Structure 1
Amino acid sequence: MAGGVRSGTDGDGDSGALEETDRDTGGRAIAGAYAELVRLPNLFTAPPDVLLGAALVAAAGHEPLPVTVAGLAASSVLLYAAGTTLNDAFDAPVDARERPERPIPSGRVSRPTAFGLGFALLVLAVGIAFAVAGGPAAVAAGLVAVAIVAYDGLLKGTAAGFLAMGTTRGLNVVLGTTAAGGVVLGAPVRLLAVPAVVTGYIAAVTFIAARETEGGNRGAVAVAALGAGAAALAVGWVLVAVGPAALETVAAIAFAAAFCWWVGRPLRAAYADPVPSTVGPAVGACVLGLVLLDAAFAAVVGIQWGIAAAVFLVPAVGLARVFDVT
């Protein structure tokens, strides 16, 4: 009897341990699916946009509060997460054919759940923007949300769609300019043109990303390369126009050079052999490279702004080793 009781107890213990392991494994699998859905590494490319916008505010003579900038950065992260979630929700039928490993077509996340999560994140992002910086910030965040839905649900794959995707990132920079209570319209035109440069660069990256699964499309790679080159030249134009101190000049040039190196190598490889296995990494590098571009522009205003933007590349690159960027 005693032996029987002991055996039963061990069995129950083993069963409980297995159940606990199964729950842990299932929890990790669910967390991993949602991390893929929101493109976890990419989320760290959103705060640098806001920091760049805040730097433009500082250049116009205002002093944004760190807590306000942090709140707007959090809002931008949620907006990005909403965008990628809704992207996959709208694209589920296409992904079932072309990317069956993604969370929705693989069955790890349901399509209705993704739609609900995406729209909830948009609402939450606008609410946070309003809470930390008032009406102007809520309007800017709301415009980003509108651009996200327009791209994901209506314009994807069209010429207007590429511009809409770029506009989401340009408006994300504008969101940062509300850190002082409103968009600073009195800032120099050369600085207000910076969000337009970000818009153009991301539009070019979106053009190549839309053709990621195709082969032999050197034209799309060339468009992305031209967009990156134009963005780097714009940093030089801003440097000449602003004429910052030597330290800021060196920092901005260093970040711009790092940006060119970061995106240039994979784009060159993709152009030489434009197949999905080279184009995909090129798209990922261009997405993460935006952090360095933001840092280059921000460093023109102050080296501290450039460094604050650039540090977000560290977690983005680390997580990109585990989760897909594109």
Structure 2
Amino acid sequence: MGDGVVTSLRDLAELVRAPAALTVPGDTLAGAASAGWPAGPRSVALPVASTCLYWAGMALNDWADRRLDAVERPERPIPSGRVPARTALAVAAGLTVAGVAVAGVGGGRRSAATAAVLAAAVWAYDLAPKEGPVSVATMASTRGLDVLLGASAGGLPGLRAAALPAALVAAHTAGVTALSRGEVHGGSSDVARACVAATAVVAGATAARHVSVTGRARAAGPFGVAASLALTGWYAVSVLGAQLSTVRSPDAGTVRRATGAGIRGLVPLQGAALAAAGHPGAALGLAASAPVGAAAMRRVSAT
């Protein structure tokens, strides 16, 4: 009986890509920091809400793709028979409700409403065809909304303050999503080049925040500026290096590795936004979680 329980928990962890959730809390933390922590101490609940919605999306994705996965990825929990399809759907629904509820506790009605919009985008992405630019844009919107969730308790002023980090996270996500389409059958060098360009723009825009807005540099302080620029460099080197490999050889294995690097690259990008908002300590703490996440993702795939 004990072995069965452990196996069940491991299967559920694989279903929701549990380790990949370490790349999620930084979204809401970056949004909240950019908006001046409008929910106060309750802001700590928003990363929990975000994680619930992320896990819900992963479970729903596998439920929606179960017939395709039976052909292309039969080792996944549903086609392998380790997790019944109805269980995956129930997990997705339960985590969605939990995510919106926790957001309401953390940030009030505005945050609950933002979480509901985010949940709708997640379900729209998972249940619609995953080909074409609309699908990529929908996925990108989910991560952008995730950043805005952290700022949502501050109303329109908070959302405006978090608009730039939300846009940068969304742009990064669009590139990673477009590239990930080649994880099974291989991709194309043209898509890889577009992803490299997107990553370069995101890195450049993140670094330029301190060059072009001196008031923000004063607010962040010299340590905040240094931390933000260092994290931006980490993001650029780690993600661009992997994506450039797909330009040279867009085979499925190389694309999978680049996709994983793109997912992990969210952490330094989020950290750069935290440091830019004047919270270098929190940024470095977030960055410290990256090696843990990378090790966990070697055991349970993030894609």
TM-score (norm. length: structure 1): 0.86
Residue 98 of structure 1 corresponds to: 72
CA change 1:308–1:139 in 2 (3 A) is farther
Identify unmatched segments of 5+ residues in structure 2: none
Q: What does 1:269-284 align with in structure 2 at a 5 Å threshold?
A: 269-284=245-260
1:230 and 2:201 matched: yes
Counterpart residue type for residue 32 of structure 2: A
* Residues 22-78 of structure 1: CA deviation (Å, up to 9, x unaligned): x232222211111111111211111000110011112xxx56423x12110100000
1:153 and 2:136 matched: no
Cα drift, residue 308 of structure 1: 3.7
Residue 194 of structure 1 corresponds to: 165
Residue 86 of structure 1 corresponds to: 60
- Is the Cα–Cα contact under 8 Å of residues 270 and 282 in structure 1 kept in the other structure? yes
Distance in 2 (CA, whole Å) between partners of 1:161 and 1:155 is 7
CA change 1:231–1:316 in 2 (3 A) is same
Distance in 2 (CA, whole Å) between partners of 1:172 and 1:248 is 23
* Residues 73-114 of structure 1: CA deviation (Å, up to 9, x unaligned): 100000100011101110111111111110011110111111
1:175 and 2:149 matched: yes
Distance in 1 (CA, whole Å) between partners of 2:38 and 2:115 is 21
Distance in 2 (CA, whole Å) between partners of 1:29 and 1:73 is 27
SS of residue paired to 2:131: coil
CA change 1:253–1:149 in 2 (3 A) is same
* Residues 138-170 of structure 1: CA deviation (Å, up to 9, x unaligned): 011111100001100015212111011010000
Counterpart residue type for residue 310 of structure 1: A
- Is the Cα–Cα contact under 8 Å of residues 246 and 255 in structure 2 kept in the other structure? yes
SS of residue paired to 1:185: helix
1:65 and 2:40 matched: yes
Distance in 1 (CA, whole Å) between partners of 2:71 and 2:149 is 36
Counterpart residue type for residue 20 of structure 2: N
CA change 1:186–1:85 in 2 (3 A) is closer
Equivalent in 158, 173, 186 of residue 215 of structure 1: 186
Distance in 1 (CA, whole Å) between partners of 2:275 and 2:124 is 32
1:304 and 2:281 matched: yes
Residue 112 of structure 2 corresponds to: 138
Counterpart residue type for residue 40 of structure 2: L
- Measured on the aligned residues, the alpha-carbon RMSD in Å equals 1.7
* Residues 173-225 of structure 1: CA deviation (Å, up to 9, x unaligned): 001013xx333426766x52221121111011111112211225112222222
Distance in 2 (CA, whole Å) between partners of 1:143 and 1:50 is 15
Distance in 2 (CA, whole Å) between partners of 1:193 and 1:155 is 29
CA change 1:312–1:158 in 2 (3 A) is same
- The ranges of structure 1 where at least 4 consecutive aligned residues each deviate by more than 4 angstroms after the TM superposition are 186-189
1:31 and 2:2 matched: no
Residue 254 of structure 1 corresponds to: 230
CA change 1:308–1:143 in 2 (3 A) is farther
* Count of matched residue pairs: 297
Residue 19 of structure 1 corresponds to: none
Identify unmatched segments of 5+ residues in structure 1: 1-22
CA change 1:184–1:108 in 2 (3 A) is same
Counterpart residue type for residue 101 of structure 1: E
Counterpart residue type for residue 219 of structure 1: D
Distance in 1 (CA, whole Å) between partners of 2:192 and 2:243 is 7
1:121 and 2:95 matched: yes
* Residues 286-324 of structure 1: CA deviation (Å, up to 9, x unaligned): 011111111112211121242243233233112112111
Distance in 2 (CA, whole Å) between partners of 1:29 and 1:298 is 37
1:294 and 2:265 matched: no
1:162 and 2:136 matched: yes
CA change 1:256–1:220 in 2 (3 A) is same
